[in-house]
Structure 1
Amino acid sequence: MNRLFIKKLITTGFFLVFLFVFSFLNICTSYKSLKSAVRKTEVSSLKEYISGIEYEINKNIYGKFKLVESYGYIQKLMGKNEVSNFEVVKDTEGKLHFTYFANKPNPTAHITTKLKELNKEIKNSKTKLIYLMTPDKYIKGYTKFPKGIPYHYNNETADQFLSELNSEKIDSIDLRDGILESGIKGADMFFNTDHHWKIKTAFWGFGQVVKNMNKKYNLQLDESNFYTNINNYNIVEYKDSFIGSMGRKIGKNYTGIDDFSLIYPKFKTNYDFYFENSFTNGTLTGRFEESLVAINPIRKYDVYGIISDKYFSYLYGNQPFAHIHNKENPNGLKVLFIKDSLAVPLAAFFSSVCSDVYLLDPRYYKGDMLNFINNTELDFVFVSYSPQNLVDEFFKFTKDK
């Protein structure tokens, strides 16, 4: 009995020492950023304040990615197709997905009403509202999940939503249509480790938007197919250089590492790009790759660093507000994207056929979006959220609703 007690005592002692050392190392690692988060006062609520501190703690855990890699390697050895209680799952091709248990599409009538109200409250009758549906990573007719992996019904929710918009006579463009005939292999449409489409797929989406708008509104955008021709663009391949948001949760031992393609024009371009966020604001001027592409993520090969997220090299990621002015096309369209992150590279490419492109991200923009629309000269307003983001928080277009 005494021997058993001594063993338990020693084990407990080692465990407590480990916790003490690990906690001390964590404090040393995160002290400066945690101190900054504690002192931060420009927050709207106590919940936001606590979330900010929690985020800094989680971001700066000592040896975080070694722990993630060890966990991912064990999951791979066990042959698991889901991790963290189905937070991330793997399809039959090895691509990672966010999913959840569902047995039917989510209700969308309330967000249809929100979009209908926005359409009615746009004062300028010449400003057209379009819903731009970007594709879900689960591609109907192609993607398959292993047995036992839940399906989220994102595509069925999107179908239901677009049907409701059609009943309300609100225009839409569905980029899921024809994606399997795009000429891009199914395995190459989305990153393995991220929920975003690849840049080549986003470029294809840009061409589809131009084609649809010419057909719907009798426009003459890119009549010679110059701007939508991929042969007029440089493509730089970065092999094994990118791990997306899902891959960072489980590690490269489980997921592998994605390649990344940087696409930018060969032809003459000249832009002003203004952006503002909670940290800074400023204007960048020059060619497409000088003003609309952040160099830092491209040059960095720390695949786990948020700053090296190559997808967000375009337009410097999700800015609350951004404005692209194309000096080479002063008489082009003036458009607004109210968008999530899938629209970022598409909007960058679409700027080639526009004079001005404005972008608002509802997750970060603190102003009144309807007020911005009604006080800005616009030809088109695109509301563009992927199927997974058809939820109420993305459809609050005014401060009082």
Structure 2
Amino acid sequence: MHNFFAKKRITAFLFILVLVTFSVLNIIQSFGPIQKTLASADYHYSEAKELIHELDDDINEHVFDKFGFVEAYGYMQSLMWKNEEDNFEVVKDMEGKLHYTYFATGPTYTKDLSDRIAALGAHLDSKTKLTYVMTPDKYVRGYTQFPEGIPYNYNNETADGFLANLKQDGIDTVDLREGLLESGIPAKDLFFTTDHHWKIKTAFWAFGQLVNHLDGMYDKPLDPDHYFTDLNNYNVVPYQDIFIGSQGRKAGKYFAGDDDFDLIYPKFKTDYSFYFKTGETEATLNGRFEDALLTTHPLNVQGATYDLTADKYFTYLYGNQGIVHVVNKDKPNGLKVLFIKDSLAVPMISFLSTVVSEIYLIDPRYYTGDIMDFASKTDLDHVFVSISPQDLVDEFFPYGSKD
């Protein structure tokens, strides 16, 4: 009996020791972010709830060896042949690709969002054209299949209703979901396995589709000789097993593996000026496409990593910035365009810069100015709105509201 209780005491002691050790390591790991949050906090009573929320985020995001636990959990799920993680936040399709999804009974109502696009169009100068560019959802109709029991979020049906509303209002649209399976890119290679974004070759194909659409709207073709939209005129540098995307960072590489990444940039001569600003951070770069519009830091990180600064997709245009201004110095007399966009459109816009004079980009999540005011007061030939099906929510349309 004495030995029995001795074993219990030793087990309890070891358990408490592990908890204390882990707690100390977590305190060390999160001390800096917590200190920074507290230093910049507004201690007014009305802001207390927000401060507590920020501190909670700091602690959760800086758990000691966080991704070691993520990988261990994902490995256990894969051993059990499970197709979902974290209450269906991330799921696998029949091909093994990861998706964000949720339980839904039908498409989301989006008439108020399409009305905001119409309000934007009415606010523009009469010479400025407006086009909505619908990028595809990772759930590719006619190809993607979910295992039995995995919920479907109706993103494509929501996009269908949204585009129908725009067409009723007489707004020009480009639906890049159409022709996707006939693009010449194998269906399994259209999207990353571990990320919600399309692959860079798919974005390049979309650039060609957009140029074809614009050629039908303007007297002078953007690419009359089909030179800039020909992938043969670009360097394609493959990187093997280097990318873990946003979905993979939630599930771990042992749940779905990692991805290859293709860096695509022009072989031909280019000359750019690139400016971006988000919050207090701003910078200006000049030079060739690969010097001004690309950042090589994510590609220099060895192997796939969970570090957000190493997200390979944001090699292009330094990721999501509040506002960006790209000037193609080789085409001073080309179109001047504005994109109000989410992250999916970033590489497509990068390639579009080869055939226009200037591009402005605004990300509604990070731009603090008045978007409609900017669009109406800037010298523009064309305004594009490009928000993907999964982002058809209020956050991406902070303008034109009737409220």
Shorter-chain TM-score: which interval? over 0.9
Q: Does 1:127 align with 2:91?
A: no
- 1:117 shift after superposition: 1.4
Corresponding residue for 2:181? 180
Hey, what's the Cα distance between the residues in 2 that align with 1:73 and 1:47? 36
1:143 aligns with 2:149: no
Offset at 1:108? 1.0
Correspondence for 2:38: 38
Residue pair 1:238, 1:259 contacting (<8 A) in 2 also: yes
Aligned to 2:115: 113
Distance 1:197 1:50 in 2: 36
Q: What is the match of residue 285 of structure 1? A: 286
Partner of 1:238: helix, strand, or coil? strand
Aligned partner of 1:228 in structure 2 is 229
Aligned pair 1:352/2:377, yes or no?
no
Alpha-carbon distance in 1 for matches of 2:267, 2:240:
22
Structure 1 residues 329-338 or 277-286, which shifts more? 277-286
Answer whether contact 1:300 1:308 (CA < 8 A) is retained.
yes
Report the Cα distance in structure 2 between the residues aligned to 1:192 and 1:14, rounded to whole angstroms.
41
Q: Which residue of 1 aligns with 2:18?
A: 18
Q: CA RMSD in A?
A: 2.1
Query: Could you tell me which of 66, 76, 79 is aligned with 1:77?
Result: 79
Which structure 2 residues correspond to residues 358-377 of structure 1 after superposition, within 5 A? 358-377=360-379
Note closer, same or farther for the CA distance 1:45–1:212 as it changes in structure 2 (3 Å cut). Answer: farther
- The alpha-carbon deviation at position 52 of structure 1 amounts to 3.6
Asked whether the equivalents of residues 328 and 353 of structure 2 are also in contact (C-alpha less than 8 Å), the reply is yes
CA–CA separation in structure 1 for the residues paired with 2:107 and 2:2: 60
Q: Structure 2: how far apart are the matches of 1:400 and 1:291?
A: 40
Q: Match of 2:246?
A: 245
Residue 267 of structure 2 corresponds to which residue in structure 1?
266
Structure 1 residue 75: Cα displacement: 0.3
1:246 is paired with a residue of what secondary structure? helix
Q: Which amino acid aligns with 1:377?
A: D
Give 1:359's aligned amino acid.
L
> In 1, Cα distance between the equivalents of 2:47 and 2:208?
43
Which deviations, in whole Å up to 9, do the C-alpha atoms of 1:212-245 show, x marking residues without a partner? 1112444411010011000000000000000000
Q: Which blocks of at least 5 consecutive residues in structure 1 are unaligned?
A: none
Instruction: Identify the residue that residue 62 of structure 2 maps to in structure 1.
Output: 60
Q: What is the CA distance between 1:175 and its match in structure 2?
A: 0.4
Contact 1:371 1:398 in 2 (8 A): no
Distance 1:47 1:326, change over 3 A: farther
CA distance in 2, matches of 1:86, 1:196: 19
The aligned counterpart of 2:192 is: 191
Report the CA distance between 1:34 and its aligned residue: 2.4
Q: Aligned residues: percent identity?
A: 55
Q: 1-side partners of 2:212 and 2:56: how far apart?
A: 46
The AA in structure 1 aligned to 2:32 is K
Q: Which amino acid aligns with 1:113?
A: D
| 1:96 corresponding residue in structure 2 | 98
Amino acid at match of 1:309: D
Provide the aligned length of Structure 1 versus Structure 2. Answer: 400
TM-score (norm 2): 0.94
Point out where structure 2 has 5 or more consecutive residues left out of the alignment. Answer: none
Is 2:311 the partner of 1:305? Answer: no
Structure 1 match to 2:160: 159
